[in-house]
Amino acid sequence: MTAYDMVIRGGTVVDGSGTDPFEADVAIAGGKIAAVGARLGAGRQEIDARGRIVTPGFVDIHTHYDGHVTWENRLQPSCYHGITTVVTGNCGVGFAPCRPQDHDDLIRMMAGVEDIPELVMAQGLPWNWESFADYLNAIDARQHDMDIAAHIPHSALRLYAMGQRALDDEPASLADVALMAQLTEEAMRAGAIGFATSRGIHQRSTDGHSIPSVQADEAELHGIGAAIARSGGGVFQLLSDFRFGIEEEIGLMRRIVERSGCPLSFTLHQRRSQPEAWRQVLGLLASANADGLPIRGQVIGRPSGVLLGFELSWNPFITCPSFAPIAELPFDRRIAALRDPDLRATLIAEEPVRDGKPGMFDTVSLTRTWDHLFALGDPPDYEPDPSTSLAARAARMGITPAELAYDLLVQGDGRSLLFLAAQDYEYGDLEVCRQLIEDPNTILGLGDAGAHCGIVCDASYSTWMLTHWTRDRKRGPKMPLAAAVRALTSETAEAVGFRDRGRIAAGYKADLNVIDYGALRLGQPHAAYTLPGGGKRIIQHAHGFDATIVAGEITYRDGQPTEALPGKLVRGPQAAPMA
């Protein structure tokens, strides 16, 4: 007699709790884990997991799939890295609520802040919503390969409530705040999991203006926080550039949490300009949490980086005047032109031009910081030795870093990549990252999946956490496998109020990965023209995921999609299974 829908047989279970792995069968029935133990009964479908590890599905709480979830069913590249739940709406940018006349402004905001091409969004977004509830319903109406949850984004909310005055950087009136609070409460009751905002002055629309949320004062944030509390509670996500000071900004976060009761998380990096400031932040977080205020820094387990290449959006010569005539050529013609010795000599000799436009990135700095630029191999190494930087290599070779960069990028088929370790790598190794990810008051995030389509592919950080931190690291201490899995599953799930997933135990949602741990590795990132309108994004595959399972259905087998699309919209916090 068949007892279960599926049994994963004989694997090493890493259950998401942080306890030691153990060998067991995992049985699934009705989309949930039915039993975990030895010699369980038969399943209509069985997976032989002997020699494999079995983990909960990974929960990515910081993505920008706000548009993708409305136009596609498979969320790439997260789907290749064991992700089974994503959270969108981060950093205060998104597409709801919105009025028809605001579509273009919201597109410009997302393009400016998250580097998603405007054409992609203009062609891809169906705009079959106005309220945030409508937007959630539009997501819910599509089939997806993973579960999706959403924050209500502050800039869209502010534009809806204030119209042109939000774009003109005007302060919100009491009536404006009341309307934003009302809309937030409605969004929360419709299924938003929380509210997200940005206070980063460099986060700008493509027209050069700061996004509306940057101008919000503390009273506005408290008004919105009170609305979340009235709705029954949710989470608060925040990006800050700490321009008013670390103590001042953490003080603001404390007051938000005190008054709203919302757990709060915010972006935390080791910055090049203040390489030791993270220590002060962690100290203040320890004090806040000791006082009963749940405030956590979102961190990533590798350098926050930028990918450069002649097929990608950026390369070290993109700001040189002589690059402009070939920049928009089809790739084959562009790389053929770049192999001309005369153009090579011209581009290497030219000084890059700073255009002076306000924006989030200083393109020249990010494409020519030679001592933090590295050739990205296959498999990629995100903890490269400083002696392998372009600056160090060029010095040993007696050439300029620009010459070395050029020659590396045109070699082979011209699709070679360079990796800029932009943040979290000031001392040339990942020891700061290790301390950040192991701190009790931080959580994993910041993969920015769906964003920065032509320059970033940090969505693969879940695979990197397993391969590098628990198995392959040679330049410092490793992490226990159980700790890394917990950080990717139950910690992130519980941080956004999802207590129904992230663990392998009876009653929990049957979101799982079966992984050939010994063979697990990252592939090299590459450009794919699969966005609406033929838009480009960077995709990175992984080898070693035997199966990814969502709600008891196999969505990916050996890295390839099945026909199953069981992903659902997650509306609000989710209760833990009954004991």
**Mind listing the pLDDT tens digit for each residue in 519-557?**
999 999 999 999 999 999 999 999 999 999 999 999 999
pLDDT digits (tens, 9 = 90+) for 307-339: 999 999 999 999 999 999 999 999 999 999 999
CATH entry, 59-244+442-495, from 1.20.120, 1.10.101, 3.20.20, 3.30.420: 3.20.20
Q: Indicate where the chain has its CATH 3.20.20 domain(s).
A: 59-244+442-495
Q: Indicate where the chain has its CATH 2.30.40.10 domain(s).
A: 4-56+508-561
State pTM to two decimals.
Answer: 0.97
Place of tokens 């060029």: 394
Q: Give the model's confidence band at 356: pLDDT under 50 very low, under 70 low, under 90 confident, else very high.
A: low
3-state secondary structure of 54: strand
What integer pLDDT is reported at residue 355 of this predicted model?
64
| CATH class held by domain 4-56+508-561 | mainly beta
Find, among 537, 564, 536, 532, the residue nearest to 551 by Cα.
564
- Residue 122: enclosing H or E segment and its boundaries? helix 118-124
What integer pLDDT is reported at residue 31 of this predicted model?
98
Rounded to 10 deg, the angle between the 431-438 and 277-290 helix axes is 10
Find, among 7, 78, 93, 1, the residue nearest to 43 by Cα.
7
* Interval 28-53 mean pLDDT: 98
CB 504 within 8 A of CB 31: no
Residues 6+ apart with CB under 8 A from 119: 532, 533, 535
Integer angstrom CA distances of residue 126 from 130, 145, 417? 11, 20, 34
> What's the rounded Cα separation, in Å, for the pair 246 and 252?
10
* Interval 250-276 mean pLDDT: 97
Q: Is the pLDDT of residue 358 over 60?
A: no
- Please give the mean pLDDT across all residues of the chain: 96
